[in-house]
Chains A and B, each alone.
Chain A
Amino acid sequence: MRYDSVRLAGFSALEPKTRRGGFDGPFFLLVLLLLAMGVVMVLSASFPRAYYDPGGVTGGDAAYYFVRQFVFALLGLGAMLLASRLPMGFYRRYALPFLALTLVLLLLVPLVGVKANGSRRWLGVGSLTLQPSELAKLAVILSFSVLICRFRGRMRSFRWGVLPFAGLLGLIVGLLVLEPHFSASIIIIAIGGAMLFLGGLGLGWFASAIGAALGGLALLLTFFPYASERINTWRDPFSSASDEGYQIVQSLYSIGSGGLSGLGLGGSRQKFLYLPEEHNDFIFSVVCEELGFIGAALIICLFALLILRGYWIALHCRSRFSLLVCAGISTLLAIQVFLNVAVVTNLVPCTGISLPFFSYGGTALLIQLGEMGIILSASRDMITERKE
Chain B
Amino acid sequence: MSEKLNQKGPVPGPDRQMLRRTLFLMAVCGVAVFLALLARLWKIQIVDHDFYQQLALSQQLRQVPGSAARGTIYDAKGNVLAVSASVDTVYLSPAEIELYGEDKELIASKLSEILDLDYEEILEKASRTGSWYVTVARKIEREQAELVRAFKNEYALRGVRLEADTKRYYPNSSLACHLIGFVGTDNYGLEGIEARYDEALSGTAGRSLRATNAFGTDLLFSQFEEYLPGEDGLSAVTTIDSTIQFYVEKQLRQAVEDYDIQNGAGAIAMNVNTGAVLAMASLDGYDLNHFLDVSEEARAEIEAAESPEEAEKLLGAAQIKQWRNKALSDTYEPGSTFKIITLAMALEEGAVNSESSFYCGGSVSVPGRTSPIRCWKSGGHGSQNLTQAVQHSCNAAFVNIGLRVGAERFYQYCEAFGFLNRTGDPDENLTAVTGIDLAGESGSIWWSENTFCSEKNLSQLAAASFGQTFTITPLQLITAVSACVNGGNLMQPYVVSELLNPDGSTAYRRSPAALRQVISGETSEKIREILEQVVGDPKEGTGRNAALSGYRIGGKTGTSEKVSLEAQTGEKQYIVSFIGFAPADRPEIALLVFLDTPSNESGIYVSGGQMAAPVVGKMFADILPYMGFEPEESESADISVPNLTKLSLEMAASRLEEAKLRYRTIGGGKTVTGQLPAPGSRIAEGTEIIIYLGAAPSEDLETLPDLKGMSYHEARDTLSYYGLYISSLSPVTDPDKQTVSSQSLPAGTKTAHGAVIEVALVSRDDAMLGIY
Contact = CB atoms under 8 A, between A and B. Distances in A.
Interface of A: 14-16, 47-48, 51-52, 54-55, 60, 149, 152, 194, 197-200, 252-260, 264, 266-267, 269-270, 272-274, 288, 292-293, 296-297, 300-301, 303-304, 307-308, 311-312, 314-315, 317-321, 323-324, 327, 330-331, 334-335, 338, 341-342, 345, 347, 383, 386-388
A55 B98 contact: yes
Classify chain B: how many residues form its interface, as a range: 35 or more
Given A198-B22, A315-B23, A327-B25, A304 B31 contact: yes
B508 interface: no
Interface stretch (B51-59, B624-632, B742-750): B51-59
Contacts of A387: 2, 5
Contacts of A255: 41, 44-45, 52
Given A267-B223, A273-B214, A345-B37, A253 B55 contact: yes
B52 A345 contact: no
B33 interface: yes
Contact of B12 (A47, A259, A311, A320): A320
A387 B13 CA distance: 14
B224 interface: yes
A253 B44 CA distance: 9
Given A260-B45, A303-B34, A15 B213 contact: no
Nearest to A267: B223
Contact of B53 (A257, A304, A334): A257
Contacts of A335: 29
Given A300-B37, A323-B14, A256 B213 contact: no
B15 to A, nearest CB: 8
Contacts of B211: 269, 272
A293 B56 contact: no
Interface string B729-772: 00000000000000000000000000000000000000000000
A338 B34 CA distance: 7
A321 B30 contact: no
B14 A317 contact: yes
Given A54-B95, A256-B49, 13 more contacts: A47-B220, A48-B213, A152-B12, A194-B25, A255-B44, A255-B52, A266-B221, A270-B56, A272-B60, A273-B215, A297-B41, A341-B40, A342-B36
B53 A342 contact: no
Contact of A345 (B8, B40, B220): B40
B17 A383 contact: no
Query: Taking each of A15, A318, A387, which has the highest tally of chain B beta carbons within 10 Å of its own beta carbon?
Result: A318
B26 interface: yes
Contact of B56 (A51, A256, A314): A256
- What are the 7 closest A-B residue pairs judged by CB atoms, nearest first? A256-B52, A334-B29, A272-B213, A54-B99, A311-B26, A273-B214, A253-B56
Contacts of B10: 16
A288 B22 contact: no
A55 B129 contact: yes
Contacts of A266: 221
Interface in B448-485: none
Contacts of A293: 41-42, 45-46
B19 interface: yes
Interface string B222-235: 01100000000000
A347 B35 CA distance: 13
B383 interface: no
Given A269-B219, A314-B22, A320-B13, A383 B33 contact: no
A122 B9 CA distance: 43
Interface of B: 1-2, 5-6, 8-15, 17-19, 21-23, 25-26, 29-31, 33-34, 36-38, 40-42, 44-46, 48-49, 51-53, 55-57, 59-60, 95-96, 98-99, 129, 211-215, 219-221, 223-224
Nearest to A149: B12
Nearest to B43: A345
Contact of B29 (A48, A297, A307): A307
A347 B40 contact: yes
Contact of B220 (A51, A331, A341): A51
A266 B31 CA distance: 30
A300 to B, nearest CB: 6
Contact of B13 (A296, A311, A312, A318): A318
A378 B667 CA distance: 138
B53 A256 contact: yes
Query: Taking each of B26, B33, B36, B56, which has the highest tally of chain A beta carbons within 10 Å of its own beta carbon?
Result: B56
A373 B98 CA distance: 45
A342 B211 CA distance: 28
A10 to B, nearest CB: 17
Contacts of A318: 5-6, 9, 11, 13
A386 B2 contact: yes
Contacts of B214: 272-274
B40 A307 contact: no
9 contacts: A200-B21, A256-B44, A258-B45, A267-B223, A270-B56, A330-B26, A334-B30, A338-B34, A347-B36
A152 B56 CA distance: 56
A295 to B, nearest CB: 10
A278 to B, nearest CB: 11
B213 A308 contact: no
A341 B15 CA distance: 34
A258 B49 CA distance: 8
B25 A256 contact: no
A62 B212 CA distance: 17
Given A257-B57, A300-B38, A386-B1, A197 B45 contact: no
A52 B215 contact: yes
A300 B40 contact: no
Nearest to A261: B45
B557 to A, nearest CB: 69
Contact of B46 (A47, A200, A259, A317): A259
A345 B41 contact: yes
B11 A320 contact: yes
A377 to B, nearest CB: 15
A297 B15 CA distance: 35
Contacts of B12: 149, 152, 319-320
Nearest to A254: B56
B48 A256 contact: yes
A87 to B, nearest CB: 12
A338 B45 contact: no
A269 B56 contact: yes
B22 A315 contact: yes
